[in-house]
Every structure is written in C-alpha cells, then in structure tokens.
Amino acid sequence: MNEKIIRLPFFQNMLNLLVLAVLAVLCVFPILHTLALSLSSATAASSGRVTIWPVEFTLQSYQFVLENPAFGKSFLISIARVLVGVPVNMALTILVAYPLSRSKREFRARDIFAWFFLITVLFSGGLIPWYMVIKQTGLIDSFWALIIPGALPVFNVILVANAFKSIPKELEEAAAMDGADHWTILFKILLPMSLPVLATVTLFVAVGHWNAWFDGLILMNSPAKYPLQSYLQTVIVSPDPRMLSERDLALLKIISNRTTRAAQIFIAMIPILIVYPFLQRYFTTGIKLGSVKG
Amino acid sequence: MYSRRKLINEIPLYLMLAPAVVLVLIYAYAPMVGIVMAFQRVLPGKGLFGSPWVGLDNFKFVAQMPTILQVIWNTVRIAGLKAIAGVVVPVSVALMLNNVTSHAFKRTVQTVIYLPHFLSWIILAGIMVDILSPSDGVVNRLLGLVGIKPVFFLGDDKVFPWTMVVTDVWKSFGFGTIVYLAALTDIDPTLYEAAVVDGATRGQQTWYITLPGISGTIIMLSTLSLSNILNAGFDQIFNLYSPLVYRTGDIIDTLVFRTGIMNNQYGVATAVGLLKSIVSLILIAVAYKLAAKWADYRIF
C-alpha cells in the first residue's frame, strides 16, 4: 500500500500521534520510576522527590541487595532453573511435536496421542491434587520440582508441530527415498528448517521459567530454596513473618526499605531486558503460528 | 496394508513420545484421580483412599459459604471487564498505529508497549504497590498536581476491581496490539488502492476495509476469551489484594488457595476446583465450537 497517497487530516494526525506517545510513556514510566528510585537516596525517595530521574544519586541500595546472601542464592537458583528447565522443555517439546506432525498414514495412533496431551490443557485435577502428586513423587523441597512437573508445555508442542507440518513434504519424501529414518528426518531436515520458530519458543520458555513464582512458593518448604521470583514474592509483595527465618527477619528491616525494594525489582528485570531485543525479533513469527492456521 | 514393516517404522515415534507420556500420566492424569478428594474428608497421612467418604458434604459446605456467590460474581465481573478491554484497547491502538506514516515513530511505540507483557506479576506487583500507594506513590502525587485527592487504588474495595482491569490492560495491550497489527498486514493492498481511486478518506478506509479485514481475528480472540471467564487472573490478584478488598476482589482461584493451602481444607478446595474445571471445560468446548464456526479456527 502506498502510505503517501492519503493521510489523516493534520489535526487528527497530531491527536493520533499524541495519544500513542502518551500510551508509550505510560508503559515505560513505572519502569523508569523504579530504576530512578533504586538509584536515589532513601530520604529522597521517602520525601517523594523522585519521579523518573535519580535524586541524590547513590548505589547503596544495590550494595545492600548484592550483599544479601539470600537474594544472591535465589538469583542463582533462578539462573539454574532456566539453564536446566529450558533444554528439558525444548527436548520434550520437539520429541512430542514430531510424531504429532506426521500424517495419519505414517502414524496411525496420532490422534489418540494428540488428544492424550490436549486433554491436559482442557481439564486438570486442580491445585490440591496436583500438590499431593508432587509430594507423593518426593519432589517437595527439591530443585527438580521446578523442572519436572511442568516439563511438557503442551501449547508449545502445538506451535512446533504446526511449524513441522508447514515444511514441504517433498523434502522428507526425498530423504526417505535415500533411506533416512525418523530421527534423521527430524534432526537433519525439520529442526534446521524451523529455527525461527524454535528460537521463539525457546525464548518464551526461558522467560516463563524466569518469571515463574507460584510453584517455588508452594513446593519449597524453606525460603532458602526459593527461585528469585518466589523470594521476591515473600519479601516484597507479601512479607509473611511466618515464612522467614530470624536472620531473614533482621534482613527484612533493611530490605523492605523502598529504595532497596526498587533495586531488587530492577535486578530481577535485567535478564528480561537483555533478551527483550531477541524476543522482539522472533515475536511476530511466534504469534502468527499461534493464531489462525488455515 | 498394516504390515509388519509399517509397525517397525512407527517404533521410533513411540520412543519419542514415551518420556512425555510418562510425565503427563504422572503430573497431569494422576491429579485427576485426586479429584476423589472432593468427596472425602481428607485426613493428613491417611492417603488418597484412606480418608472417610463424605458424599457431597464438601459441595454442601461450599454452597453454604457466605461469600461464595460474591466470589463467583467478582470473578466473572473482573474477567469479563478484562476480556472486553482486552479486545477494545489493542484493536484501537493497532488501528491508530496503522495510521502513523513515520516508520521510526511506529517502531518506537511498538517496541515500548509490549515490554510489560514479559514482566512477571511479582515484579509488576512490587512496582504497583509502590507507585499506587495513597501516601507517597508517584501516581497519587501526580494526581495531586491536578487537584485530585489521593485514591486508595489497592485498598478501596470500590476501586480495586478497576485497578485490576486497568493494570491488566496496561500489561497486556501491547501484546494484543502486535497480534492485530500482524493481522493487518494480511489485508490485500489493492483494496486500499481501489478505495483511494474512489476518493475514500483515511477514516473511511479504516471503517470499510481495515476493520472488516481484521474482524476474523477479533471474533476469534473474543470467542476464545470466553473460555477464560472463570480466570480473573490469579497471579495478579493474589499479589495485589488484601483482606480490605475481599468483598469485590476475592476470586475463585484465590479462595481455593486460601481454603486449600492456607487452611488445609483439602476436600473443600478440591470441590471448588472441580466445579470450576467442569464449568471451564464446557466454556472451552463452546468457545472453540464458535471460533471454528465463525472464524474457521482450528488448533491442530
């Protein structure tokens, strides 16, 4: 479309740009404000002088946070969770997506398995039975509780299976003629050809692991085993003295301070900000796959 | 036809599925068996079938909870408002962005508006609690500049549901906007050329070409959101609510959490969860049927 042909009338155009600019500012403002708070002095913050620029600049809050071993530990648990969880999720996703992307002629039980997985999206036992099963399998208080129960993200299987289906059949047929088996077709043809989709799904899974807090909160008995977001939930969002050890309580006095709270929030945001440019790049690919499929 | 060779050829496929099947059986299907707890008085240490059966007592208990109707209404109200705003705002923003001729401006806005989508409700709750504070939050400070008295966004039960809707839209409209913008690129450009020849203004083009062009996506996404009418957003509400706002802000999921995990009434919590699952299942079935009929949507 030639955008130059007709524009909005001048006044409407200006109004349009203004509203969009305001929306954009509203989206970044709370984040900039948090950053500014974290870099301001405690007195400046509590006297309400900070908006989006640090007042009485200091790195003290960050120093407090980084010197707190509980924060550092939960940060590392979250990193470990991403590093272990993402490969596990991706491996299972790909291994399930391949059989489900075959034709019924190639894999007669395809529909049975598709429904087997799909039903788990449609219906679940609910919170308590889910918790009991994880307890029965001995995962409570174990790092693996954060990885194994959610190891197969069914929605991602659908995305990847659809990507596999969209690759021209002729390629696989030619490979099969040359004697390629299922594993060869998957690893040598389908995976290399679906890299954009796999990249999208990988990033989404990584962000999901980084942001997960609920499982850590209820599956770990001691806060020392919390991933970062669960830790932040207990110290920032709903400080619950019953959940904390005495040393944590002493720390809480310092870390519930407004500027250190902001510093912790901002540090937790940093990994997301780092992958954000990549998220954007692959973003539309992922969305298009998720929406209408002809 | 179903020769031996064919079966051998399928063996790798079963091998690929095996690990996931085992996991899903344990962590998704076994909990479904646990639903029997809804019909038991669950005693700690007695196991799944050792606890006494109590028939429908748990359901009767739920029905007699003084707040249950209020909680259901809160859930439907908050989820419904979010669903409506979740269509109207992204569609409007996508249409507005579509009218922007400067690529740099368009890109910048797009880049910025979906950042909140990728942040967790823990981080956002931390931010919200700070900026929405009635005493020293920056939002009330700015409102004060134009003479508005401090609003207790998270502590006033009349305001709380609206705070939930607005902050949810704030987090998610950017993502929705990108989905609709992607749909916009599929519109046949010759339609616009023809419209220009016929002397249509930009506004008329939006109304007669752009909007109908994305109506399929709009219908599909609105229909699918129907299946979420009992999900008012646990992550958000759990991290932002307090007893002060239970009257309007307590939803089914937070009630289940408090009854089950905090008060250890496993049977009752499972009963509520079961009722919710059943209603959700029906809603999902209806939504997908309608989406398939109106927008030709299929997931597989």
Summarised one tens digit per residue, pLDDT across range B171-197 is: 999 988 988 888 888 888 888 889 888
Q: What is the mean pLDDT of residues A79-92?
A: 97
Contacts of A232 in chain B (CB under 8 A): 122-123, 126
pLDDT band at B82 (very low <50, low <70, confident <90, very high): very high
User: Of the given ranges (A123-137, A258-272, B166-180, B217-231), which has the lowest mean pLDDT?
Assistant: B217-231
**Over the stretch A20-56, which tens digit does the pLDDT of each residue have?**
999 999 999 999 999 999 998 888 887 788 888 998 8
Interchain contact, A152 vs B182, CB within 8 Å? no
Is the confidence at residue A252, as pLDDT, over 60? no
Which among A65, A78, A38 is positioned nearest to A252, based on CA atoms? Answer: A65
For residue A291, what pLDDT is reported?
A: 45
Interchain contact, A152 vs B24, CB within 8 Å? yes
For residue A292, what pLDDT is reported?
A: 37
Is the confidence at residue A13, as pLDDT, over 60? yes
For residue A4, what pLDDT is reported?
A: 44
A43 touching chain B per CB within 8 A: no
B12 touching chain A per CB within 8 A: yes
Interchain contact, A113 vs B276, CB within 8 Å? no
Which among A92, A292, A241 is positioned nearest to B23, based on CA atoms? Answer: A92
Is the confidence at residue A62, as pLDDT, over 60? yes
Closest chain A residue to the Cα of B194, Cα to Cα: A1
Interchain contact, B101 vs A7, CB within 8 Å? yes
For residue B83, what pLDDT is reported?
A: 93
CA distance A151 to A85: 7
Which among B59, B11, B14, B13 is positioned nearest to B35, based on CA atoms? Answer: B59
Interchain contact, A269 vs B131, CB within 8 Å? no
User: Of the given ranges (B37-41, B87-91, B158-162), which has the lowest mean pLDDT?
Assistant: B37-41
Length in residues, chain B: 300
Residue where the block lists tokens 């981080």: B123
- Which residues 144-163 of A are in CB contact (within 8 Å) with B? 148-152, 158, 161
For residue A249, what pLDDT is reported?
A: 58
Range with the largest mean pLDDT of A39-53, A246-260, B13-27: B13-27
User: Of the given ranges (A109-123, A207-221, B39-53), which has the lowest mean pLDDT?
Assistant: B39-53
Closest chain B residue to the Cα of A135, Cα to Cα: B27
Is the confidence at residue B265, as pLDDT, over 70? yes
For residue A255, what pLDDT is reported?
A: 52
Is the confidence at residue A290, as pLDDT, over 70? no
A13 touching chain B per CB within 8 A: yes
In this structure, which long-range contacts are made by residues A5-12, counting pairs with CB atoms below 8 Å and at least 24 apart in sequence? A5/B196, A6/B196, A6/B200, A6/B201, A6/B202, A6/B205, A7/B101, A7/B202, A8/B99, A8/B202, A8/B203, A12/B203
The model's pTM is 0.88
Domains by residue range for chain A, with CATH: 10-58 (no CATH), 62-290 (1.10.3720.10)
- ipTM of the complex model: 0.87
Q: What is the mean pLDDT of residues A165-180?
A: 86
B26, B100, B269: residue with CB nearest A127: B269
Closest chain A residue to the Cα of B12, Cα to Cα: A182
For residue A2, what pLDDT is reported?
A: 47
Candidates B10, B98, B122, partner chain A, best to mutate (most A CBs within 10 A): B122
Which among A262, A205, A218, A211 is positioned nearest to A236, based on CA atoms? Answer: A262
Counting one residue from chain A and one from chain B, the pairs whose CB atoms sit within 8 A come to 263
Contacts of A28 in chain B (CB under 8 A): 112, 115
Is the confidence at residue B152, as pLDDT, over 60? yes
Contacts of B96 in chain A (CB under 8 A): 16, 19-20
B93, B100, B122: residue with CB nearest A229: B122
For residue B5, what pLDDT is reported?
A: 66
pLDDT band at B288 (very low <50, low <70, confident <90, very high): confident
Domains by residue range for chain B, with CATH: 1-55 (no CATH), 67-295 (1.10.3720.10)
Q: What is the mean pLDDT of residues B128-147?
A: 90
Closest chain A residue to the Cα of B283, Cα to Cα: A122
Interchain contact, A218 vs B261, CB within 8 Å? yes
B84 touching chain A per CB within 8 A: no
More confident residue, A292 or A57: A57
Interchain contact, B19 vs A232, CB within 8 Å? no
For residue A3, what pLDDT is reported?
A: 47
Is the confidence at residue A97, as pLDDT, over 50? yes
Instruction: Report the 10 Å Cβ neighbour count for A215.
Output: 20
For residue A293, what pLDDT is reported?
A: 38
Interchain contact, B216 vs A288, CB within 8 Å? no
Interchain contact, B179 vs A99, CB within 8 Å? no
CA distance A149 to B238: 22
Q: How far is B69 from chain A (nearest CA, A)?
A: 20
- DSSP string over chain B: ---HHHHHHHHHHHHHHHHHHHHHIIIIIHHHHGGGGGGB---TTS-TTTSPB-TTHHHHHHHH-TTHHHHHHHHHHHHHHHHHHHHHHHHHHHHHHHT---HHHHHHHHHHHTTGGGS-HHHHHHHHHHHT-TTT-HHHHHHHHTTPPP--TTT-TTTHHHHHHHHHHHHHHHHHHHHHHHHHTTS-HHHHHHHHHTT--HHHHIIIIIHHHHHHHHHHHHHHHGGGTT---HHHHHHH--GGGHHHH--HHHHHHIIIIIT--HHHHHHHHHHHHHHHHHHHHHHHHHHHHHH-----
Is the confidence at residue A94, as pLDDT, over 80? yes
